[in-house]
Amino acid sequence: MRVLARLTTGERVTLILILAEIMAAPAAGADAASSALDPGPRFKVESDLVRVPVVVIDKEGHLYTDLKKEQFKILEDGVEQPVAVFTGGEAPMNIVLLLEYSSRILPLLGEVVYPAGLFISQILNPEDYAALISFDIKPRVVSDFTGHRGKLFNSLRGLAKDPPSYRESSLYDALEFALAGDMDYAGLSGVQGRTAVLLISTGRDTLSKINFDEARKVVANAGVPVYSIGIGEASALQPYPYMSDISRLNHYQSRNTLRTFSESSGGRSYTVRFQADIDEVLNSIAAMIRFQYTLGYTPLNDRQNGKKRKIKVLVDIDGDGKPDNKRLELQHRRFYVEPKA
């Protein structure tokens, strides 16, 4: 970290890319075989099914990967719902790497590019699909869904060589775009299989068209876990005692924004202060995505347009017929809002 701190932004990004490229070299052969045929992820057919991805971890950090359908119960507004769909075990991931890339965070761009490069080169498997989206004043698809790591890595290199044009960061709009898409980009909420967003950001929004509450509703309704990595923590350590009250408040609000989006969606938020911690964080995120359970149910409750529905998942770890939630840290979406007619 001391060496990186003495470099200019351009030198730091270049060094980071070189390091990631070296680490990516052993995977080149696997990509060559998949480059000729890259059909992309499969998309779901619209239905009334409520999809609830669940990650089961105990207080000591142990990840449960071999639980059965009968060990789960799911409640909507306190009413138990029959589990119509259940999947478990290890499976490939479909993920969007959502990167804040504005001139406002120019000194922190290395903290954005480096974990993204590591994820592409070290975490993704040949059967995984990923898309790369950056955002400043608006989101931009840098690379659409592909299983080709070489293509993703080249797209990331191209992004790093292209200085950000705008100072604003429209985080809320970018999340809506990554999950719901538009006419040209399908969005992740419609993709089948293990899905997730890896958001690398300061957590600040300066110019979105939608507000925080609307963005939280979009995240909760998508049924896609958002894993967030907060950047800028290391650079804030030294000047923190000298920050103004407004700067300190913005710092805490940004951190809380990332945590709220992650918890609402069933993901997890990480505050990374030291570069050495990135590897462990990325490996933890990958394990939670690959070994998540998916529960699906068709609600029994009477439908009411615009009503907020609370979701609770109960898990019986030891098979005694009683939920063991007190000894667990479950990750799942906490609510959804019924769409209005």
Q: What pLDDT does residue 304 have? A: 86
- Is the distance from CB of 146 to CB of 40 less than 8 angstroms? yes
**Alpha helices (runs of H) in 25-78, residue ranges in sequence order:** 28-34
Q: Which residue has the tokens 């604003």?
A: 168
256 to each of 98, 212, 252, 263, 269, how far by Cα in Å? Answer: 18, 12, 6, 10, 9
Nearest to 195 by CA among 112, 292, 298: 292
Q: In the chain, which residues have pLDDT < 70? A: 1-39, 42-47, 234-245, 247-248, 341
Cβ proximity of 20 and 275 under 8 Å: no
Q: What is the pLDDT of residue 18?
A: 54
8 Å CB contact between 221 and 337: yes
pLDDT computed for residue 120 by the predictor: 93
Helix residue spans in 121-244 (DSSP H): 149-160, 171-180, 212-222, 233-237
Whole-angstrom distance, CA of residue 339 vs CA of residue 341: 6
pLDDT of residue 15: 53
User: Quick check: 227 and 285 in contact, CB under 8 A?
Assistant: yes
What CA–CA distance (Å, rounded) separates 282 from 116?
9
Distances (CA, A) of 276 to 62, 114, 121, 124, 201: 22, 11, 17, 20, 18
pLDDT of residue 216: 95
Dump the DSSP string for 176-193: HHHHH--SS---GGGB-S
The pLDDT, as a whole number, for residue 32 is: 45
pLDDT in tens, 313-331: 999 999 899 999 999 999 9
- What confidence score (pLDDT) does residue 51 get? 93
What's the CA gap between 42 and 117, in Å, rounded?
Answer: 25
Whole-model pTM over 0.85: yes
Q: How far apart are CA 67 and CA 315, in angstroms?
A: 9
Residue-level pLDDT at 17: 59
Per-residue pLDDT reduced to its tens digit, 3-48: 444 445 555 565 565 555 544 554 444 454 444 556 677 656 456 8
Domains of the chain: residue spans and CATH: 2-33+91-289 (3.40.50.410), 50-89+292-337 (no CATH)
What is the pLDDT, as a whole number, of residue 318?
92
